[in-house]
Amino acid sequence: MSKITIVTWELLEMGGINRVIGGFQSGLAKLGHEVRTFHGNKNGHLRLSQEHYTLMTKWYRPMSENLGWTNFEQLKDYRECVKESDLVLIIHPCPHPTKSGAGDDTRWQRIYEIPYKAKVPVAILFTDNLWDRLYPWIIDIIDDDRAVCLYNNYNAKFDAMDRLPHPSQFIHYPMDFNEVIHYKSRKIDVSWLPQWKKWKGIYQFIEALSNKSGRLNTVLFNSGIEYYNIRKTSQWEKAINYDRFIGVTHNKNSTTNYYGLLEPNDVARAYASSRMTIDLSGAYAKKFEAQVTCVMIEAMMFGTIMAVPSYVEESNHSLLYKQGVVFPVDKLNIIESIEEFLHNKKAQLKMQERAYAYVKEYCEDTVVSQSLLDIMGV
């Protein structure tokens, strides 16, 4: 049995990073290893729990304990933990920069210095394709003698990670198959589960729904800053029947409803209730073309058809290139192409089976966790 220390940070929105943290927690534990997870933040006074996710305003913090980089008692505890560890896994390289200054306060680097000084191997997992735009100073923190860089956005291999002046390796999203549930019927035709960000195509999806309301039983889950912006538009008024978050009915003829933020335990039920879910990441933002998101892999695990931009299936920069495990939606005729596919039950079943088999082979939490240990020589 090995002892693994996981570190993450107080980020602007955790999104799929929570899934990654939870996947490594479950996968390493199933393999018989002892895991302890720290949540890096400035003062070490966050509301956290080691037993369940902690709700913030629009997102959840992962199961973890405080590690304040200015809290010397917590740093001491972390130091003792690291000394007994065989590996430190840092999920996302650093705290998110803020508008007030990009990394001006460097005291968070103590979280790196402690395992470096203890000569404990460090795995640094890059969870986006933006290091050189958002936190370029990270290249000065990476010690090639002590650390190995990993990334789970495969398309970053041909973009930001190709520019990283340190060796790096790809690793899959870890998925906990113990969460999978099966319902006899799926009452939702299409669901939206990604974060509400422009580059994920939420505006274009709402516009498509506004022009074809009343044709698909559609439920929009989760939230984000763009929810508050988009609900002011005429497209929202036309597309949405009932907005559960504010308790307002807009268009009684529409079959699209907004549910709002999901509790972590409700995510599985949302997938299991949906015939299809959609993530248009990169369809309208070239920087994110061919990006395979955590939501896409999650949906495949739950047996839900994943509707995606065509790049995800057709680009050789995509992890899922020509795998036949996702449905490439026509971004000019989103609703029509979805309706046509949902009428073909044989094609749906075939895709569900292929997608589930793919995730089971490559993304099961124990498989990805063992891959991490093999890469790090633990």
State the DSSP string of 73-101. Answer: HHHHHHHHHHHT-SEEEEESSSPPPBTTB
E-strand ranges in 16-114 read 34-41, 54-55, 60-61, 65-68, 87-91
Q: How far apart are CA 281 and CA 16, in angstroms?
A: 13
The CATH class that applies to domain 3-174+365-376 reads alpha beta
Answer yes or no: is pLDDT of 98 > 70: no
Q: Which CATH code for domain 178-362?
A: 3.40.50.2000
148 alpha-carbon distance from chain centroid: 21
At 261-314, the pLDDT tens digits run 888 778 899 999 999 999 998 777 777 788 999 999 999 999 999 999 999 999
- At 144-184, the pLDDT tens digits run 888 999 999 999 999 999 999 999 999 999 999 998 888 87
Statement: residue 345 has pLDDT above 80 = yes
pLDDT at 214: 66
Which position has the higher pLDDT, 179 or 373?
373
Query: What pLDDT does 103 receive?
Result: 53
Output the CA torsion 136→137→139→142 (10° steps). Answer: -140
Of 274, 79, 266, 280, give the one whose Cα is nearest residue 191: 274
How far is Cα 330 from Cα 336, in angstroms, rounded to an integer? 8
pLDDT at 289 (0 to 100): 81
pLDDT digits (tens, 9 = 90+) for 202-226: 999 999 999 876 679 999 998 888 9
Domain ranges of the chain: 3-174+365-376, 178-362
Determine the pLDDT at residue 30: 97
Q: Do domains 3-174+365-376 and 178-362 have the same CATH topology?
A: yes
pLDDT tens-place string over residues 30-68: 999 999 999 999 999 888 778 887 766 666 788 889 999
Q: Is the dihedral of CA 283, 284, 290, 296 positive or negative?
A: negative
CA 82/CA 6 separation, integer angstroms: 10
Q: What is the 3-state secondary structure (H, E, C) of 173-195?
A: CCECHHHCCCCCCCCEEEEECCC
**Phi-psi label, residue 30: left if phi above 0, alpha if psi -120 to 50, beta otherwise:** alpha
**Hey, what's the torsion of the CAs at 220, 223, 225, 231, to 10 degrees?**
40
Chain-wide mean pLDDT for the chain? 90
Tell me the C-alpha distance between 228 and 198, whole Å.
12
Query: DSSP for 281-294?
Result: TTTT-GGGTT---H
Q: What confidence score (pLDDT) does residue 123 get?
A: 97
**pTM, rounded to two decimals:** 0.90
Q: What is the chain's Cα-based Rg?
A: 21
CB 186 within 8 A of CB 36: no
